[in-house]
Structure 1
Amino acid sequence: MTATMVRARHLITRTLDRHTHEQFDDAALIQEDGIVTAIGAWDDLRARYPDMTVLGSGQEVVLPGFVNGHHHVGLTPVQLGSPDMPLELWFITRLLCRNVNLRLDTLYSAFEMLASGVTTVQHIHGWIPGTLNDVEAASNAVIGAYEEIGMRVSYCFALRDQNRLVYQADQDFVASLPEALQGPMARHFARFRMSLDDNFDLFRHLRARHEGKERVRVQLAPANLHWCSDAALTKLAEVSAGEDVPMHMHLLETAFQKEYAARRGGCTAVEYIDRFGLVTKNLTLGHGVWLSEKDIDRLAEVGACVCHNCSSNFRLRSGIAPLNRLEARGVTTAIGTDEAGINDDRDMLQEMRMVLRAHRTPGVGDEVPTMQQVLRMATAGGARTTAFEGRIGTLEVGKAADLVMLDWQQVAWPFLDEATPVLDAVLQRAKMGGVRATMVAGEVLYQDGRFTRVDQDAALKALHEDLSKALTTDEVERRGLSKALLPHVRQFYEGYFDPGTHQPFYRQNSMA
């Protein structure tokens, strides 16, 4: 049996409501074989277990490990040459990204997540070309990298079976292009050879392979409404309900997606997928920027969740999600860094501050995010959106020993008024450099700037060398295709709204 006593100046175990949380001062936590077995005063627990290994000096703040509820890739799009643009145009620039080594790429972002206190990640994978065997190998490479570094991963492969580049059928889009682009575009689409049934075979193969593992779970991921046919939505609902499997679905990220839903079904996107039985407690919506009041009521009614990707929404000009309305209705919310945060990294401490500040509507009311709410979003709220629900997200006896230790000196130096609440200080002042340790299932994976399982320097050097190679023929063709397609795609979306309706459409969704 492995056992550790985690010592804390301040031990914050969970939030209780929007304004209160549970906090123990001069305290300790005991983990045995990855499970929290005791929480109490430091002096009392040390007297009971005088020989137990101690983690911490007594000058740290200990919190539940953070959950990154929406994540995709390692190297950021900017690093790979894809600049921030409106989402629908940004999809085109993503064509030029390199073919990366998935193990090294996954480790790259895992380093950043662990260093900012993230212990669990919802990894939403996609856009892997090839057959079922190819995609399954890629999926296992990503999961394997998380296993190698020790993080928890709730993995899902995003199902796409239509409209893979613009909000139009693939064959119709190809036919709309100049003849010189039709061949290259058709060849690009032909690279993706997974059938609808293959997607569900992939899900079942991955679940069987990783069943029983403490740190791996497998979910479903309908990619987005425009990416899923009615047949796909039907099958996803059946499998999720039949096997009680969580689903994570991008939805209503942009105004264009809201308009697409109206054209497809004469209703909102939430109302459309509800026709197929997808809107249940198993559903998490990624983004949800353009939800209506009625949509929010429906999500609250069934107990569905929304993962808020604040930085991504700003970077890709998607809008501001109605977080305050979601919270007021009691919808469970989480936080995700998506492709990358505002600083082009996966710093969860920074992302929590983004959420805290982005929704501070004018006035003196109490509807704006509180410290406790944001902490809950990054911990228990995120846990609720994964297949680890009930096991992580709070520090309680019987739950997993997933936690982050922050240096109080970094938060409080050179001065902090003693009247400032500890949680307020942490959420507004803690920096990535102040993370002293990150623990998953009782195992320290990151401590004092170093990773315990993987040589970070060697991994980053290998990643650099891998991407220093010459472009492949496929990469060269995709780069040329991306550049040539952009004006045609821009033209497609410039005419997407009827004259005079686009601007009011944005104004009516000013809920912050």
Structure 2
Amino acid sequence: MQNVDTLIVAAQVLPIEPEGVVLTDHAVAISGGKIVALAPAAQALATYSAKSVVRLDRHVLMPGLVNLHCHAAMTLMRGLADDLPLMAWLQDRVWPVEGKHVGDDFVHDGSLIAAAEMLRGGITCVNDMYFFPGATARAMLRAGMRATLGIIAIEFPSAYAADAAGYLAKGLATREAYLGESTLSFCLAPHAPYTVGDETLRKIATLAEELDVPIHMHVHETRDEIAQEVERHKVRPLWRLRGLGLVSPRLIAVHAVHLDDSELDLLAREGASVAHCPASNLKLASGIAPVAAMLARGINVGVGTDGAASNNRLDLFSEMRLASLLAKGASGEARVLDAHATLRMATLGGARALGLDNAIGSLLPGKWADLTAVELSSLETLPCFDAASHIAYVAGREHVSHVWVGGEARVTEGELIGIDVATLKEKALWWKQRIVQA
């Protein structure tokens, strides 16, 4: 028999690849943090001798979810600025609080709280954009969560850096410091066309090629920002980005709510990806992204939560369901974004956008064992005729029972491993008091 570290036997498995497949009574063999095999349970038990055998008799096992857009540290501002449009939300509430409080400790504590929330909700990888990415890196390593960290660029000063050149220099130094960490990767993260100048964007396009990393950027989130950009630059933002060399397979266009046909064709032609954040888009009254039109053109789409300050949940189960229903309602076509396609968006779609689809996003041998198990035995999940349908439309993050990242257990029977929840609660309340008293 072949020795492995862990054998997980599940009632049903959603491998994502091949597409549309649901496997019954299968097992995943794990060794060295990676998937060795996916096989029928009887065959796997006869072939592999495991140090640990985990039996999930009432569960669906699937790849860990990939949160394609988040500002993790903003968990400490959850509910601080509700029921406002984007620019009022930013200028009147968020930016003033950030100016007073954001620093290394704020980002570390907020990111660790966010990581705990995401892991308990089956999210194993997050694509983050915020100040002090080194603090986020430490939090994610402490939580044992996979993360792609943004090397942020913006033209105005903050406690982190004085100008765009400073942001890039510090972010690149952070990347250099963490290059050896297998659970961390980096991307370039210019905030948005309206906050980043041409010179900086040209430099980012060049750096992305040199470093072979994605570009993570808010694009076409609201009609007002597009109108302002047209007035300033005489061209819509996405075409400005194209002229500066940023529209390519590296681009992760976050939100992408307001796109005309020519812009959809541009994203498809250039192989760019979209981070779809349906709840944030609705809550800020930004609009509904044309996801059906994106998928019809073959654009790669992943799912993001955005930050807890604008959503207010870091919950990809609710985002999946909302994304599917919005796509159906907006297009008038019930077949658009079916359950399997929705799950693919929230796993392999996000991984592909990050350039990590050879490492995560599906249950194939050789990939990291980033896994989520969902228990479907409670009354509200019974009966279950189709596991994919239940994950997309029925189950919630409260049904997540187990999570592994790189083969290491991070959640077992719904409980976080290695994270003291009581301490995190104290941190959250301490920061609330500090923000209120400022």
Structure 1-normalised TM-score? 0.79
One-letter amino acid of the counterpart of residue 329, structure 1 = R
Aligned partners of 2:192 and 2:356: how far apart in 1? Answer: 23
Helix, strand or coil at the partner of 1:245 = coil
Aligned to 1:7: 9
Aligned to 2:285: 317
Structure 1 residues 103 and 197, CA gap change in structure 2 (3 angstroms)? closer
Q: Report if aligned partners of 1:39, 1:397 keep a CA contact under 8 Å in 2.
A: yes
Aligned to 1:326: 294
One-letter amino acid of the counterpart of residue 423, structure 1 = A
Range with greater deviation from structure 2 (333-342 or 201-210): 333-342
Per-residue CA distance 1:195-232 (angstroms, 9 max, x = gap): 33223322321221111211001110111111111111
Q: Report if aligned partners of 1:324, 1:367 keep a CA contact under 8 Å in 2.
A: no
Q: Is 1:468 paired with 2:433?
A: yes
Q: Is 1:146 paired with 2:148?
A: no
Helix, strand or coil at the partner of 1:338 = coil
Aligned partners of 2:169 and 2:299: how far apart in 1? Answer: 32
Helix, strand or coil at the partner of 1:125 = coil
Structure 1 residues 90 and 143, CA gap change in structure 2 (3 angstroms)? same
Per-residue CA distance 1:11-36 (angstroms, 9 max, x = gap): 110154xxx51222101000101110
Cα drift, residue 331 of structure 1? 0.3
Cα drift, residue 111 of structure 1? 1.4
Q: Report if aligned partners of 1:284, 1:307 keep a CA contact under 8 Å in 2.
A: yes
Cα drift, residue 342 of structure 1? 8.6
| Structure with the largest fraction of strand | 2
Structure 1 residues 102 and 242, CA gap change in structure 2 (3 angstroms)? closer
Structure 1 residues 362 and 389, CA gap change in structure 2 (3 angstroms)? closer
Helix, strand or coil at the partner of 1:84 = coil
Per-residue CA distance 1:156-206 (angstroms, 9 max, x = gap): 032111xx5xxxxxxxxxxxxxxxxxxxxxxxx676642332233223212
Q: Report if aligned partners of 1:35, 1:441 keep a CA contact under 8 Å in 2.
A: yes
Structure 1, gaps ≥5 residues long: 127-137, 165-188, 476-512
Q: Report if aligned partners of 1:380, 1:392 keep a CA contact under 8 Å in 2.
A: yes
Aligned to 2:28: 29
Matches within 5 A, 1:68-107: 68-74=67-73, 76=75, 79=78, 81-91=80-90, 92-97=92-97, 99=101, 101-107=106-112
Matches within 5 A, 1:47-446: 47-74=46-73, 76=75, 79=78, 81-91=80-90, 92-97=92-97, 99=101, 101-126=106-131, 138-161=132-155, 193-340=161-308, 344-361=312-329, 365=333, 368-410=336-378, 413-416=381-384, 420-446=385-411
Helix, strand or coil at the partner of 2:263 = helix
Helix, strand or coil at the partner of 2:401 = strand
Cα drift, residue 93 of structure 1? 1.4
Q: Report if aligned partners of 2:4, 2:51 keep a CA contact under 8 Å in 1.
A: no
One-letter amino acid of the counterpart of residue 435, structure 1 = V
Larger CA Rg, structure 1 vs 2: 1
Per-residue CA distance 1:246-269 (angstroms, 9 max, x = gap): 110101000012112322332221
Q: How many percent of aligned residue pairs carry the same amino acid?
A: 26
Structure 2, gaps ≥5 residues long: none
Structure 1 residues 411 and 437, CA gap change in structure 2 (3 angstroms)? farther
Q: Report if aligned partners of 1:217, 1:387 keep a CA contact under 8 Å in 2.
A: no
Aligned partners of 1:365 and 1:407: how far apart in 2? Answer: 31
Corresponding residue pairs, total: 430
Aligned partners of 1:381 and 1:288: how far apart in 2? Answer: 16
Range with greater deviation from structure 2 (348-357 or 404-413): 404-413
Aligned partners of 1:301 and 1:441: how far apart in 2? Answer: 34
Which of 421, 424, 435 in structure 2 is aligned with 1:456? 421
One-letter amino acid of the counterpart of residue 22, structure 1 = V
One-letter amino acid of the counterpart of residue 10, structure 2 = A
Structure 1 residues 362 and 145, CA gap change in structure 2 (3 angstroms)? closer
Aligned partners of 2:148 and 2:159: how far apart in 1? Answer: 27
Structure 1 residues 362 and 401, CA gap change in structure 2 (3 angstroms)? closer
Range with greater deviation from structure 2 (361-370 or 225-234): 361-370
Q: Report if aligned partners of 1:104, 1:460 keep a CA contact under 8 Å in 2.
A: no
Helix, strand or coil at the partner of 2:351 = helix
Range with greater deviation from structure 2 (210-219 or 199-208): 199-208
Helix, strand or coil at the partner of 1:218 = strand
Aligned to 1:46: 45
Cα drift, residue 104 of structure 1? 1.9
Structure 1 residues 120 and 77, CA gap change in structure 2 (3 angstroms)? same
Aligned partners of 2:33 and 2:367: how far apart in 1? Answer: 9
Aligned partners of 1:151 and 1:190: how far apart in 2? Answer: 27
Helix, strand or coil at the partner of 1:206 = helix
Structure 1 residues 81 and 271, CA gap change in structure 2 (3 angstroms)? same
Aligned partners of 2:213 and 2:357: how far apart in 1? Answer: 12
Structure 1 residues 24 and 382, CA gap change in structure 2 (3 angstroms)? same
Structure 2-normalised TM-score? 0.92
Structure 1 residues 387 and 205, CA gap change in structure 2 (3 angstroms)? farther
Structure 1 residues 56 and 69, CA gap change in structure 2 (3 angstroms)? same
Structure 1 residues 367 and 262, CA gap change in structure 2 (3 angstroms)? farther
Structure 1 residues 244 and 343, CA gap change in structure 2 (3 angstroms)? closer
Range with greater deviation from structure 2 (201-210 or 330-339): 201-210
Helix, strand or coil at the partner of 1:220 = strand
Cα drift, residue 49 of structure 1? 2.8
Q: Report if aligned partners of 2:258, 2:289 keep a CA contact under 8 Å in 1.
A: yes
Aligned partners of 1:309 and 1:258: how far apart in 2? Answer: 18
Aligned partners of 2:20 and 2:134: how far apart in 1? Answer: 38
